[in-house]
Amino acid sequence: MPTGARGRTPSTISINVKLMEKYRFKQKSRAVEFLGEKFIALNAFIAIIAVLLIFIFIFKESIPIFTSSDVQKEASLHKMMIKQVYYEGRDAKWSWQPNSDVPKYSLLPLFIGTLKAAIIAMLVAIPLGVGAAIYSSEFSSKHIREIIKPAIELFAGIPSVVLGFFALMILATPLQKILGSTFRLNAINAGIALGFAVIPIIFSIAEDALTSVPRSLREAALALGASQWQVSLTMVLPAALPGIVAGIVLGFGRAIGETMIVLMASGNAAIISGSLTDSVRTFSATIAAELAEVVYGSTHYNVLFFIGTLLFIFTFAINLCGEFVLVKLKTRLQGEY
C-alpha cells in the first residue's frame, strides 16, 4: 500500500495528516486480516476437497460393477465393451437397452455417440473461434474489437438449454432439408448447437494467448520490414500456438460433458454407425435422461454412475492437458524474454 510506505518515511515526504489518520493501521485490523486470510484459504481448499469428494462418491456408487457378481451377470466391464449375444440364435450386437427383459448395457454406442457430437462441435467451433480470435487480436481496429470480444463472450452466458431448444425447434428442419438426411435430429444438428457453446471458450483463451505475445516480438519483426500479415502468421501465431491448442482442448472437454444441448437436439438413439446424419446418444444425455427415475441400487443405477465416473475422468484428463499446455505457454512467453 502506497500510504503505508509514505507513513514509514515521514521525513522525506510531506504528509497529509488527515489522509494518514484515515489509513492508519489499527491493531484490531490485524486479527481481522488473519481471519480473512484463513477464510479465503479455506474457500480455495473447499473447491479441491469438493472435487475429490464428488469423484469418490460417484465412483463409490459404481463399485458393485467390479465387486458384485449379481451386477456382473448383467454388466461386467467385458459385457459393457464387447459385442454380446443376448438372444439365442440371433447375432451378437452392441446395444443399450437397460429396461429390457434382458437388460443390455453396452457402452460402445454411447461412446461413439459422444465422440461424434463432440467432433462435429469442434469442427464448427475451431475455425470460428480461432478465426475470430486472430481477427480480433491482430487485424481489427480497437473499436471493432471492443464489439467483437464481448459479443462472442456473451455466447458463454447463453444457457445451454436455450441452445438445445434452438437446435430442436428451429435449426433441425432447415438442416434436414440441406443435408437431405433421414433423421431430423442427428449428430450434426446437436454438434452445431454444441459448437456454439464451445466457441466462447476457444475464443477467449486463444485471444488471451495472442494478445499476451510480447510487444517486443512484434516490434522487432516490424522493424525488420515484415508486413502485418507476416508478423501475425510467422511470429505471433506460432508463439501463441500452445494457448490456442489449450483453448481447443478445454473446448473439447466442454463438448464431451455438455448435457442439455445433446439431450434435446441429438435424437438420443443409441446406434453404432459411422454416419454423422444418424441420431446419437451421448454419455451425458443418458445420465440426465435415466438417472432421475432409476431404481436406487439397481444394476442400471450402478452403470449410470459408472458412466458418470468415466465422464469425470475424461473431462478431468482433458482439462488437465489444457491447463498443462497453458502453463507451458506462459513460461515460454515470459521466461525467454
Partner 1 sequence: MRRILVITTVFFIIAGLVAGGSSITIKGSDTLVRLGQRWAEEYMKNNKGVVIQVSGGGSGTGIAALLNGTTDICQASRDMKEKEYKLAAQKGIDVYRISVALDGIAVFLHEDNPVDELSFSQLKGMFTGAITNWNEVGGPDHRIILYGRENNSGTYAFFKKKVLNKEDYSDYTQTLPGTAAVVNAVSKDKYGIGYGGIAWAKGVKFAAVRKDNNSQAVMPSLETVSNGTYPISRELYWFFNGAPKGEIKKLVNWALSAEGQKIAEEIDYVPLPKELALKNEVK
**Cα separations (Å) of 138 from 1, 125, 202, 241, 290?**
36, 19, 16, 14, 47
Q: Which stretch binds partner 1 (CB under 8 A): 22-30, 176-184, 207-215, 326-334?
A: 176-184
Q: Output the smallest distance, CB 15 to partner 1, in A.
A: 45
DSSP-H helix ranges across the chain: 2-8, 17-23, 27-62, 64-67, 69-75, 77-81, 108-134, 142-155, 160-166, 172-179, 187-211, 215-223, 228-230, 237-257, 260-265, 283-290, 299-335
Q: Which stretch binds partner 1 (CB under 8 A): 71-79, 112-120, 265-273, 324-332?
A: 265-273
Structural contact between residues 155 and 128, judged by C-beta atoms closer than 8 angstroms: no
User: Reduced to 3 states, what is the DSSP secondary structure of residue 92?
Assistant: coil
105 binds partner 1 (CB under 8 A): no
Residues in the interface with partner 1 (CB under 8 A) total 32
Binding mask 280-309 for partner 1 (x = CB under 8 A): -x-------xx-xxxx--------------
Q: Which stretch binds partner 1 (CB under 8 A): 24-32, 44-52, 267-275, 319-327?
A: 267-275
Q: Output the smallest distance, CB 29 to partner 1, in A.
A: 25
92 binds partner 1 (CB under 8 A): no
When binding is defined by CB under 8 A, the residue of 27, 99, 216, 331 that contacts partner 1 is 99
Distance separating alpha carbons of residues 24 and 32, to the nearest angstrom: 15
Backbone phi and psi for residue 96, each to the nearest 5 degrees, phi listed first: -110, 95
Give the contacts of 54 (CB within 8 A, at least 6 positions apart): 312
128 binds partner 1 (CB under 8 A): no
Binding mask 225-264 for partner 1 (x = CB under 8 A): --------------------------------------xx
When binding is defined by CB under 8 A, the residue of 132, 248, 270, 303 that contacts partner 1 is 270
Evaluate the CA torsion angle 38, 44, 47, 53 in order and state its sign: negative
Which stretches of the chain bind partner 1, using CB under 8 A?
Answer: 95-101, 104, 109, 168-169, 172-173, 182-185, 263-264, 267-271, 279, 281, 289-290, 292-295
